[in-house]
Amino acid sequence: MSVAARTLGPMRGDLPPIFTRNELLCSGRSPQRIRSQLRRGTLVKISHGLYASAEVAAPILARSDGPNLLAAGAALRRLGPDLAASHQTAAVIHGLDLLLRPDATVELTRPLGQGRRGLKPGVRLHVASLPAEHVTTRLGLRVTTVARTVVDLARAGEFRAGVVVADSALRARQASKAELQQMVIECRGWPGIATAAEAVEFADEKSESALESIARALFRECKLPPPELQVWVGADDVVGRADFYWRQYATIAEVDGALKYADPQEARRQLRRDARLREAGFEVVHFDWYDITRRPEYVAGSVRAAFARGAGVPSVAG
């Protein structure tokens, strides 16, 4: 089943320079010295025939997404200046959330008309129109813009995958809804663009995590009415902020991440909060990652049961 992946966010600065073996030889290093530096760890091999200084590469390799970033730099270095990192690789570079954990494959886009020559193992090459305005530079690498990255991923995957990355871009203020909509227009007629258009229209910056994005997509798939997001609720006073609120049914839904109740004090605080909300007349339901991804019928049934209990209750939102 899907596993949401959150990158560590955009890096500051550029990736370290990546050198070919010939460039190292031309700089005065002998083959023996190159081998010696690799053994001592002062030089690191990024991929076949490509190297970087260990000192400047170390902070990147310490990141969970570091190997992906260096692999992207190596692939672009090898395959030429007209390509751009795209799809999941671009999402990693921009620090966007993904529905699936990115694998080791580097995804690149090459402009139309240039074929697939020079393709190497570990690289997934897309051939598509690549206007200059769809490309930017991050970490010293050519990469598709955030808006193009969102639309490419939404075109290539299922609806909820597009919602996760679109919500992430909006939430981080790396793209506006208007920019995403304009990119959909510019990519009209492309494979998968209808799904991308739906995901962009559905996207909401108020969705605070990948789990909330998936939950919203699930509500839609189960034909539940769309909830209000991040609403402060209470009766005489404000009790708290609800992840999802259906005002007409006085129903609140909360999605709980794996670490939400790791702290016993936090768990007790949540129980007290739920009790106060129920005393104020709200129906409160909770779901976790397993429920959302493995038991959609249970989630939908629980929400509908809460609707039935809360129907007709006067609005008590703060």
Cα–Cα–Cα angle for 16, 130, 137, nearest 5°? 25
What per-residue confidence (pLDDT) applies to 58?
Answer: 83
Range of the domain at 273: 225-310
Between 143 and 59, the higher pLDDT residue? 143
pLDDT digits (tens, 9 = 90+) for 198-257: 999 999 999 999 999 999 999 999 999 999 999 998 766 677 889 999 999 999 999 986
The SS3 of residue 164 is helix
In terms of Cα–Cα distance, which of 287, 170, 281, 284 is closest to 222? 287
Residue 39 has pLDDT above 50, yes or no: yes
43 domain residue, yes or no: no
pLDDT digits (tens, 9 = 90+) for 2-15: 445 554 444 445 67
Residue 114 has pLDDT above 70, yes or no: no
253 domain residue, yes or no: yes
- What are the CA-CA distances from residue 221 to residues 2, 9, 121 (Å)? 16, 30, 37
Confidence of residue 259 (pLDDT cuts 50, 70, 90): low
In terms of Cα–Cα distance, which of 18, 82, 88 is closest to 50? 18
CATH label of the domain that carries residue 270: 3.40.960
pLDDT digits (tens, 9 = 90+) for 172-188: 999 999 999 999 999 99
Structure tokens at 84: 């751009």
237 domain residue, yes or no: yes
What per-residue confidence (pLDDT) applies to 258?
Answer: 57
Task: Give me the number of domains the chain comprises.
Answer: 1
Structure tokens at 215: 């939950």
* Residue 152 DSSP symbol: H
64 domain residue, yes or no: no
295 domain residue, yes or no: yes
149 domain residue, yes or no: no
Confidence of residue 105 (pLDDT cuts 50, 70, 90): very high
Measure the CA–CA gap between 220 and 21, rounded to whole angstroms. 53
In terms of Cα–Cα distance, which of 210, 127, 134 is closest to 179? 134
Q: How many percent of the chain have pLDDT more than 70?
A: 88
HSE-up (13 A, CA, CB side) for residue 59: 7
List b or e across 61-72, with b for residues whose CB sees 16 or more CB atoms inside 10 angstroms.
eebebbebbbbb
Residue 261 has pLDDT above 60, yes or no: no
Name the CA dihedral angle for 285, 286, 290, 296, rounded to a multiple of 10 degrees.
20
Measure the CA–CA gap between 265 and 141, rounded to whole angstroms. 45
31 domain residue, yes or no: no
Measure the CA–CA gap between 187 and 194, rounded to whole angstroms. 10
291 domain residue, yes or no: yes
The residue type of 285 is: V
Q: What is the mean pLDDT of residues 34-49?
A: 89
Confidence of residue 60 (pLDDT cuts 50, 70, 90): confident
Ramachandran sector of residue 69 (left: φ over 0; alpha: ψ -120 to 50; beta: rest): alpha
Residue 89 has pLDDT above 90, yes or no: yes
The pTM score is: 0.84
pLDDT digits (tens, 9 = 90+) for 121-136: 789 999 999 999 999 9
Question: What average pLDDT is seen over the chain?
Answer: 87
Between 212 and 112, the higher pLDDT residue? 212
